[in-house]
C-alpha cells in the first residue's frame, strides 16, 4: 500500500470511529447518557475493525480520489451497507448492550456522507470546481459547441492551470441558458463578439469534431472576425483512431477550413486489392507517395517496396516504417535496367507511380526536357517493367494541370496519361489506371508552406494574381481516393477526383494571415504577376471530355477515348530517346504529342 492509499485508509478509519460516536450524539441531542456513552466506546473496539475489513475486502483503496466517479460511489455504498449489516448481525448475536437501533441506522448514513463527500470534495478541488480554490492567472476561453466533445473538453479545462472556460456557444437554441459542468451556454455562434467582450475572453476553442467542415469553418471565421485566437480540438477521425485525446487542443490550421468531408472507403475492395500483396510505390518519399505508403501499410500488404531517387527522402520514410515489411530501393524511374532488376526481385502485384517533377515554373524553361523525360519516359519505363513482370495493376498519379495544359509540366503529365492508354492495348495482364486531381495542401513546394514562412518572417505574403484560383484537397484525402480509384479500375480509365469548389489563392492568404493572429494592415499581400507557364484557373476536364459517375460519390471516370496505337508509341519512344533537347524543341514536340497544349503567353 502506497502512502496515498495509507492516508485514505487512515481517513476512513477515523471517519468510521468518529461517525459512530457522532451517531450517538445525534440520537441523544448531544447529551449522551453515561451507560450509552460507555456502550458506544466499548463497541468501537469491534465496530471499526469490522468496517475496515469490509472496506479492504471490497477494494475501496484501489481507486484514486483524484478521479472519484460514480463507480467509486457505488463501491462505497456497498461497503458501508455491508458493514452496517455485519455490525447489526454481531450486535444481535452477542446481545450487545448500549447500542440503540437508531444508531445502527444513523451511522451508515453519516459514513456515506462523510466518506463520499470528502472524496468528491477532493476531486472538485483538483478539477477547479471550487471557486476560491481555482488557480489564479488562468486565461478565460469561450468553447464553441455544446455537445459531448465540449463536455469532455470542459472537464480537461477545469483541471488546467492555464485555461478556464467562461461560456459555451452553440446554434441549438434549445440549449441556450442551460449549463454543462456549471459553465453557461451563452447563445449562438453569431453572437461570439459580444460574449467575448463581456467575458473578456481572447481565445476560442472549437469543440465540434463531428460537425461538418462548413460548420467548423464558419465557427473559425466568426471567432477570427471577433479578434479571438482560434483553437480546435482534434478531428473526429483522429479521436476515433486513438491518435490524440480531446485535451490536445491546437491552433486552427488552413486544412481545417478547407471544407473537405471525411472520405468513406470501400474497405472490402481495398483489402481485396492490397492485403497480403506486394505493393511498389515510386516517388515513395514525396508528399503523395509517402501518404500512399502510410495508407497502404494500414491495409496489411505482404511487402511494401519504396522506390525513390532522393536518398534523404528514402531514409526518412525508412525510419518512419521501421519494423514493418518494407524494402527501400534507391533508383531513377528513367533507369530501365534498375527497374527491371527491382521488379524481377520483388515481383509486385500493384504499382503506384507517384514519382514526377511537378513544379510548374521550375520545369518550364531550362528544365523542360528533364521534366518530359522524367514524367513521360519515366512513366513508360516503369510501365514496361510492370508489364514484363505481369503486375496486376499500375496506377498513375496525374494532375489537373494535364487538362488543356499551358505549361511543360502539365503537358508532360497529359502525355504520360496517353502513354498508359497506349500500353493498355498491349498489356494482357496489367490494368492501367490514371487518377487526376488538383493541388494538395501542405505538399512540398506548395503555396501553404510558403505562406507560413512569409508570415513567420513578417510578410509580405506574395500571390501571383488577385484572381488566380486552384482546386485543393488534403494529402490523406487524395491518397485515400487514389486507392479507391485503384480498387475500382478495370483498365484504361482516367478517374477524376471530386475537388469541391475552387479556392482563390488570395483568400487562402487572407485566411492564413488571420489565423496567425495578424491583420492585413500588419502583414500585407503583394501581387507579383503570373509565373512562366501558370494560368489563372485549372480544369479537371478538357473541352469535349465528359465523365460518368462511379459507385463512389467522390470519384468520376472519364468516358473512354481512342487510345494511341503502337505506331504512335514507337514514334514517341524515338523522340524521348534524345539525351538533350532545347526548350524550343521540347515545346514544339509537345504541341505535336499533346494537341491541346497551348503554352501560356504572359
CATH number at residue 377: 3.40.50.720
163 versus 583: the higher-pLDDT residue is 583
Tell me, what's the pLDDT at 200?
87
Query: What's the pLDDT at 64?
Result: 54
Is there a single domain that holds both residue 83 and residue 151? no
Model confidence band, residue 229 (pLDDT cutoffs 50, 70, 90):
confident
Report if residue 264 sits inside a domain. Answer: no
Mean pLDDT across the stretch 526-538?
Answer: 77
pTM: 0.66
Structural domain contains residue 283: no
In a domain, 322, yes or no: no
User: How far is the C-alpha of 553 from the C-alpha of 556, rounded, in Å?
Assistant: 8
299 vs 296: CA distance, rounded Å:
5
- Give the tens place of pLDDT for each residue, 337-388: 999 999 999 999 999 999 999 888 889 888 999 999 999 999 999 999 999 9
Q: Which range marks the domain in which residue 28 is found?
A: 3-126
Number of separate domains in the chain: 3
Mean pLDDT (the chain, rounded): 83
Which contacts of 265-268 are long-range, i.e. CB under 8 A and separated by 24 or more positions? 265/480, 265/483, 265/484, 266/484, 266/487, 266/488, 266/551, 266/552
Residues 57 and 147 in one domain: no
Max mean pLDDT among 256-265, 439-448, 454-463 falls in 454-463
pLDDT at 240 > cutoff 50: no
> By C-alpha distance, which of 378, 355, 331, 348 is closest to 280?
348
d(CA 107, CA 475): 64
pLDDT value, residue 133: 46
Who's near 558: CB < 8 A, 6+ residues apart? 493, 494, 495, 496, 541, 545, 546, 547, 548
Give the integer Cα–Cα distance in Å for 556 and 441. 22
In this structure, the answer to whether residues 431 and 378 fall within a common structural domain is yes
- Please tell me whether residues 65 and 35 are part of one structural domain: yes
Please give the average per-residue pLDDT across 189-205, as a whole number: 90
Give me the DSSP letters along 251-301.
E--HHHHS-PPPPPP-HHHHHHHHTT-EEEEETTTSHHHHHHHHHHHTT--
Residue 303 has a pLDDT of 95
Whether 186 is covered by a domain: the verdict is: yes
Is 70 exceeded by the pLDDT of residue 427?
Answer: yes
Looking at the structure, do residues 122 and 157 belong to the same domain, yes or no?
A: no
Exposed/middle/buried for residue 21 (C-beta within 10 Å: 0-12, 13-18, 19+): middle
**Distance, CA of 90 to CA of 87 (rounded, Å):** 5
CA 464 – CA 525 distance, rounded (Å)? 10
Whole-number pLDDT of residue 119: 75
Segment 304-349, tens digit of pLDDT: 999 999 999 999 999 999 889 999 999 999 999 999 999 999 999 9
Instruction: Please report whether residue 288 resides in a domain.
Output: no
Model pLDDT, residue 539: 61
Residue 242 has pLDDT above 90, yes or no: no
pLDDT at residue 40, rounded to an integer: 79
Q: Cell numbers 466568426 correspond to what residue?
A: 222
Residue 549 located in a structural domain: yes
Q: How far apart are the first and last CA of the chain?
A: 79
Last residue of a domain, one of 187, 220, 252: 252
The answer, yes or no, to whether residue 58 has pLDDT greater than 80, is no
Note the pLDDT of residue 70. 66
Same domain flag for 49 and 118: yes
**What is the rounded CA–CA span in Å between residue 365 and residue 356?**
17
Q: Is 200 left (phi over 0), alpha (psi -120 to 50) or beta?
A: left
> How large is the average pLDDT for residues 41-51?
85
Position with higher pLDDT, 66 vs 393: 393
Percent of the chain with pLDDT over 70: 86
As a three-state string, the secondary structure of 451-505 is: HHHHHHCCCCEEECCCCCEECEEEHHHHHHHHHHHHHHCCCCEEEEECCCCCEEH
pLDDT band of residue 545 (cuts 50, 70, 90) is low
> What is the CB neighbour count within 10 angstroms for residue 132?
5
Q: Is 196 helix (H, G, I), strand (E, B) or coil?
A: helix
Note the pLDDT of residue 56.
80
Let me know whether 369 and 499 are in one domain: yes
Q: Are residues 154 and 195 in the same domain?
A: yes
Q: Taking residues 247-267, what's their average pLDDT?
A: 65
pLDDT of residue 264: 61
pLDDT at 239 over 60: no
- Point out the least confidently predicted range of 105-109, 238-242, 425-429: 238-242
Residue 263 in domain: no
Distance, CA of 530 to CA of 428 (rounded, Å) = 45
pLDDT of residue 168: 92
Same domain, 38 and 157: no
> Where does residue 183 rank: exposed (0-12), middle (13-18), buried (19+ CB within 10 A)?
buried
Burial of 136 (0-12, 13-18, 19+ CB in 10 A): exposed
pLDDT reported for residue 243: 43
Of 19, 34, 33, 32, residue with least CA distance to 84: 19
Q: Which of 217, 252, 287 is the last residue of a domain?
A: 252
Contact 456, 423 (CB under 8 A): no
User: Is 277 designated active site?
Assistant: no
The better pLDDT of the pair 415, 238 is held by 415
Do 50 and 164 share a structural domain?
Answer: no
Average pLDDT over residues 548-557: 75
85-107, pLDDT tens digit by residue?
Answer: 988 888 888 887 778 888 888 88
The confidence score (pLDDT) of residue 322 equals 87
Strands (E), 44-191: 139-144, 163-169, 179-180, 183-187
Q: Which of 277, 334, 358, 401 is catalytic?
A: 401
Q: What is the mean pLDDT of residues 69-84?
A: 78
pLDDT at 134 > cutoff 90 = no
Helix (H) or strand (E) holding 434, with range, is strand 431-436
* Residues facing residue 555 across a β-bridge: 497
Would you say 487 and 270 are in contact if contact means Cβ atoms under 8 Å apart? yes
Q: What are the pLDDT digits (tens) for 446-501?
A: 677 788 888 888 889 998 888 888 777 778 778 888 898 888 888 888 888 776 67
> Are residues 183 and 165 in contact, defined by beta-carbon separation less than 8 angstroms?
yes
Going by pLDDT thresholds of 50, 70 and 90, the confidence category of residue 575 is very high
184 and 233 belong to one structural domain: yes
Q: Residue 515: helix, strand or coil by DSSP?
A: helix
User: Does the pLDDT at position 159 exceed 60?
Assistant: yes
Q: Are residues 84 and 180 in the same domain?
A: no
The pLDDT, as a whole number, for residue 304 is 95
Res. 502: pLDDT tops 70: yes
Most confident range (mean pLDDT) of 164-168, 338-342, 490-494, 520-524 is: 338-342
Residue 527 has pLDDT above 50, yes or no: yes
Residue 139 lies in a domain: yes
End-of-domain residue from the set 207, 235, 252: 252
| Res 377: pLDDT | 96
Amino acid at each position: 500500500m502506497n502512502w496515498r492509499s495509507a492516508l485514505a485508509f487512515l481517513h476512513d478509519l477515523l471517519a468510521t470511529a468518529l461517525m459512530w460516536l457522532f451517531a450517538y450524539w445525534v440520537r441523544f441531542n448531544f447529551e449522551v447518557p453515561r451507560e450509552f456513552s460507555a456502550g458506544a466506546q466499548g463497541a468501537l473496539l469491534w465496530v471499526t475493525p469490522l468496517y475496515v475489513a469490509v472496506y479492504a475486502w471490497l477494494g475501496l483503496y484501489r481507486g484514486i480520489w483524484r478521479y472519484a466517479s460514480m463507480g467509486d460511489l457505488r463501491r462505497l455504498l456497498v461497503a458501508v451497507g455491508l458493514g452496517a449489516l455485519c455490525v447489526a448481525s454481531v450486535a444481535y448475536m452477542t446481545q450487545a448492550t448500549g447500542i440503540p437501533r437508531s444508531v445502527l441506522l444513523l451511522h451508515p448514513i453519516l459514513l456515506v456522507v462523510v466518506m463520499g463527500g470528502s472524496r468528491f470534495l477532493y476531486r472538485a478541488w483538483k478539477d477547479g470546481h471550487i471557486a476560491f480554490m481555482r488557480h489564479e492567472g488562468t486565461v478565460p476561453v469561450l468553447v464553441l459547441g455544446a455537445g459531448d466533445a465540449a463536455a469532455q473538453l470542459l472537464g480537461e479545462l477545469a483541471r488546467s492551470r492555464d485555461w478556464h472556460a467562461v461560456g459555451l456557444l452553440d446554434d441549438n437554441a434549445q440549449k441556450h441558458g442551460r449549463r454543462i459542468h456549471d459553465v453557461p451556454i451563452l447563445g449562438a455562434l453569431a453572437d461570439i463578439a459580444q460574449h467575448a467582450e463581456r467575458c473578456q475572453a481572447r481565445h476560442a476553442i472549437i469543440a465540434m469534431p463531428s460537425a461538418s467542415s462548413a460548420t467548423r469553418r464558419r465557427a473559425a471565421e466568426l471567432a477570427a472576425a471577433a479578434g479571438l485566437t482560434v483553437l480546435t480540438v482534434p478531428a473526429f477521425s483522429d479521436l476515433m483512431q486513438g491518435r490524440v485525446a480531446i485535451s490536445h487542443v491546437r491552433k486552427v490550421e488552413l486544412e481545417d477550413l478547407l471544407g473537405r468531408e471525411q472520405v468513406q472507403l470501400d474497405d472490402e475492395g481495398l483489402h481485396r486489392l492490397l492485403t497480403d500483396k506486394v505493393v511498389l510505390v515510386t516517388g515513395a518519399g514525396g508528399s503523395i507517395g509517402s501518404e500512399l505508403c502510410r495508407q497502404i501499410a494500414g491495409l496489411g500488404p505482404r511487402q511494401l517496396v519504396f522506390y525513390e531517387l532522393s536518398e534523404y527522402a528514402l531514409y526518412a520514410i525508412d525510419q518512419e516504417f521501421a519494423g514493418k515489411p518494407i524494402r527501400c530501393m534507391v533508383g531513377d524511374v528513367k533507369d530501365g535496367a534498375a527497374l527491371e532488376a527491382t521488379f524481377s526481385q520483388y515481383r509486385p502485384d500493384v504499382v503506384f507511380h507517384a514519382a514526377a517533377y511537378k513544379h510548374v515554373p521550375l520545369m518550364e524553361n531550362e528544365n523542360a526536357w528533364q521534366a518530359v523525360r522524367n514524367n513521360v519516359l519515366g512513366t513508360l519505363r516503369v510501365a514496361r517493367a510492370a508489364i514484363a513482370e505481369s503486375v496486376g495493376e499500375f496506377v498513375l498519379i496525374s494532375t489537373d494541370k494535364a487538362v488543356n495544359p499551358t505549361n511543360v509540366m502539365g503537358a508532360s503529365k497529359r502525355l504520360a496519361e496517353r502513354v498508359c492508354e497506349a500500353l493498355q492495348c498491349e498489356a494482357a495482364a496489367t490494368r492501367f489506371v490514371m487518377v487526376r486531381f488538383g493541388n494538395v495542401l501542405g505538399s512540398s513546394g506548395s503555396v501553404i508552406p510558403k505562406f507560413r514562412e512569409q508570415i513567420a518572417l513578417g510578410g509580405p505574403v506574395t500571390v501571383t494574381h488577385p484572381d488566380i484560383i486552384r482546386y485543393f484537397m488534403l494529402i490523406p484525402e487524395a491518397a485515400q481516393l487514389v486507392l479507391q480509384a485503384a480498387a475500382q479500375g478495370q483498365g484504361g480509365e482516367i478517374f477524376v477526383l471530386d475537388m469541391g469548389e475552387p479556392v482563390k489563392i488570395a483568400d487562402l492568404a487572407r485566411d492564413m494571415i488571420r489565423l496567425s493572429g495578424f491583420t492585413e494592415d500588419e502583414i500585407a499581400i503583394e501581387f507579383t504577376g503570373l509565373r512562366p507557364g501558370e494560368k489563372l484557373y485549372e480544369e479537371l476536364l478538357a473541352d469535349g471530355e465528359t465523365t460518368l459517375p462511379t459507385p463512389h460519390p467522390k470519384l468520376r471516370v472519364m468516358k473512354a477515348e481512342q487510345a494511341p496505337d503502337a505506331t504512335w508509341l514507337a514514334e514517341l519512344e524515338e523522340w524521348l530517346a534524345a539525351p538533350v533537347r532545347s526548350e524550343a524543341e521540347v515545346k514544339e514536340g509537345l504541341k505535336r504529342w499533346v494537341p491541346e497544349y497551348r503554352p501560356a503567353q504572359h
